[in-house]
Homo-oligomer: A and B are copies of this chain.
Amino acid sequence: MSLQDDLNAIPGVAARDAATHGFVFNHTMLRVKDIQASLDFYTRVLGFTLVRRRDFDEAKFSLYFLVLVDDPAQIPAEEPARGQWLLSQRGVLELTHNHGTESDEGFRYHDGNSEPRGFGHICVSVPDVEAACTRFEQLGVAFQKRLTDGRMKDIAFIKDPDGYWVEILQPTARV
């Protein structure tokens, strides 16, 4: 038995249906209170590129789609190629901004990690987790868990402006 055979034998795991060919896990959507703060965090701190904004003025919300790619030059410059590229990618982050929440002092979104729980976190993997965390400290980023906290010394969790947890890990440090 290979490792994959073992996993495929876990109750619930099904063989792939050919009808799912071409399916792509495209994006994860989070609501954010202050889009300026969130764009700053995801672009400046984590390196995402903003690829699309869609405004729904009547319904008073806007959507922002970001990708984290080393070579933003690969992103088609014009529609419709740009949108088709975006919606065919894995690992897109969609931020929803309901207009006005940023100036509502008591307004908060729920990060999913206290009751009622559900969504847990997103994760950004990095080439050097020590260097990345040192830089986050220098940038004044909030930490939920530093590398030195707890039992798992190879992962950290930082917090985005809404308090959503972002796990930071290094692929080569975990086996």
Contacts and interface: CB of A to CB of B under 8 A. Distances in A.
Contacts of A85: 171
Given A118-B112, A171-B83, A68 B25 contact: yes
A94 to B, nearest CB: 7
A23 B41 CA distance: 14
8 contacts: A3-B78, A11-B39, A30-B119, A31-B118, A79-B175, A84-B172, A111-B118, A112-B118
Query: How many copies of this chain are found per oligomer?
Result: 2
Interface of A: 2-4, 7-8, 10-17, 19-31, 35-40, 43-53, 67-68, 70, 72, 75, 77-80, 82-94, 96, 108-112, 116-127, 131-132, 135, 162, 164, 167, 169-172, 174-175
A25 B126 contact: no
Nearest to A135: B19
A104 B79 CA distance: 49
A25 B96 contact: no
Contacts of A127: 21-23
